[in-house]
Amino acid sequence: MGCLVSTAKDSGGIRRRPGNIGDVTVFVPGLRIPKPVDFSHSLDEHLSKSLAERLSALRTRIVVMAGQEAPTITRTRRRSATQHGGSTLGDLLQALEDYLPVLLGLVKDGSPLQHKVQFVWVNQEDEAEETAIFSAWYEVLSVLHLMATLSLSQANLLLLPRTSADGYQPKVSEESRRSCIDIFLKAAGFLDCAVRHVLPQLPVELRRDLPVDLTEGGVDIQLGLAIDSTKATLAVKRRLACEMVKYWQQAQDNIMNLSLANGWGEKHQLFVKWKYIEAKAAAYYYHGLILDEGNTEKAHGLAVAALQAADEYLKESKKVCEAFNMAPPLSRNPPLWGTMKYLSEKIPKDTSSKVRINRDLYAHEKIMETAPTLPDFALALKPDEFQLPQVDASWNTENITKLQFGPNKSDRT
């Protein structure tokens, strides 16, 4: 069914694992870079020369472009072109989209061809570095993962504050934030397709050895837009903040079940912990403001308890953020903007004010209650639906030699 080879050897003498990844708004998983494959050698008895050469050309384009972009994608620099002639994130995504329908011909109708080629990818995060499998489904999985990673890289660039034309503090435009919501959902769609439709095609024994990666969603961007909107009510902001807690809670639960001992594992775990705690600070803040609208002593006491919880979570999130940035590979945070700039200023100020006011009104013990339970809202954001494309028309009977397939190379390894 397939053969997995995972080695710690260097690929071409160039190690691609960065020691510093610069400014991080979206923590992008380490890139998985494909290594060259000779389709003509592996498939010479089964495909026409033109189809084998087309597969090779499409994949070689990706190998070259990904190799050029790898040093810059994990660094937060805006680059319009490389020294070799213009591969950008968008161009690389397009190259992957062009390759996918031709690649899918190898797995069409359960074709034995899916086990004839060994696909090799180099992982920035995994100490094993290099994973090689005789499986075209593994290649499809890797392509979808790279498409999602590149999308997240685009989002990270868009969400880095830029100096505004008016010369004031760096900020992120509303247009960029709205675009990022679409990008997050698109990336989630790629991964959702990979998990639901591609991963089940791989044997269980191979799935256990696949590299581990992580992604995130975009509800926090929606909250930032709501904060900026004069029409968004406190109830809307609280709902978005509570949804954000649930998303990060899911991520926290899932990552605890993964083996992340090597590479960037600690950084992934700290990123999720940081964002989860940060989300709880936002949720308790807006919950506290709504509770404070009540006219009873109990409501005011619960409001203060919620705001105090928000303040504590905010302080804790800053500590975890520092730990995240110090974990290898080193990173740093861009200047605060949007949601967290607003909340970093408002939470301490409003908490101090409400505590003082309520202590004047009520006995001290009345406001020192346990933080109230956050309301439970259904999650609204769903991944964009992404379906694997139709197999390219080049896979017709004229291009496939009708020969009896012998034993797979993978069976002989």
Tens-digit pLDDT profile for residues 48-60: 888 999 999 999 9
- Poorest-confidence range of 3-12, 70-79, 152-161? 3-12
Burial-class residue 131 by CB neighbours within 10 Å (0-12, 13-18, 19+).
buried
Nearest to 358 by CA among 284, 299, 285, 290: 299
**Would you call 330 helix, strand, or coil by DSSP?**
strand
User: How far apart (Å, rounded) are the C-alpha atoms in residues 387 and 220?
Assistant: 26
Nearest to 300 by CA among 237, 356, 343, 342: 356
Per-residue confidence (pLDDT) for residue 101, from 0 to 100: 97
Tens-digit pLDDT profile for residues 319-377: 999 999 998 888 887 777 778 888 999 999 999 998 887 766 555 554 445 789 999 99
Burial-class residue 231 by CB neighbours within 10 Å (0-12, 13-18, 19+).
exposed
User: How far apart (Å, rounded) are the C-alpha atoms in residues 93 and 151?
Assistant: 8
User: How far apart (Å, rounded) are the C-alpha atoms in residues 279 and 256?
Assistant: 18
Placement of tokens 């940081």 in the chain: 274
pLDDT at 403 over 60: no
Q: What share of the chain is helix, strand, coil (3-state, %, to 5)?
A: 55, 5, 35
Q: How far is CA 119 from CA 6, 139, 400, in A?
A: 12, 6, 21
DSSP characters over 188-213: HHHHHHIIIIIGGGS-HHHHTTS---
- Greater pLDDT, 115 or 27: 115
Tens-digit pLDDT profile for residues 69-101: 766 655 544 443 333 333 478 899 999 999 999
- Greater pLDDT, 342 or 263: 342
Token pair of 108 as six digits: 């069409």
Placement of tokens 């919950």 in the chain: 287
Torsion of CA 75, 79, 84, 86, to 10 degrees: 130
DSSP single-letter state for residue 196: I
User: How far apart (Å, rounded) are the C-alpha atoms in residues 399 and 244?
Assistant: 50
β pairing state of 130-133 and 4-7: antiparallel
The average pLDDT across 373-386 equals: 88
The amino acid at 360: D
What is the distance between the terminal CA atoms of the chain, rounded to a whole angstrom?
A: 11
Per-residue confidence (pLDDT) for residue 42, from 0 to 100: 87
pLDDT at 194 over 80: yes
What values do phi and psi take at 254, rounded to 5?
-70, -40
The average pLDDT across 261-265 equals: 66
47: which strand partners?
A: 400
- Poorest-confidence range of 3-7, 294-298, 318-322? 3-7
pLDDT class of 406 with cuts at 50, 70, 90: very low
DSSP single-letter state for residue 363: -
The pTM of the full predicted model, rounded to 2 decimals, is 0.73
Torsion of CA 198, 16, 40, 46, to 10 degrees: -20
Per-residue confidence (pLDDT) for residue 72, from 0 to 100: 60
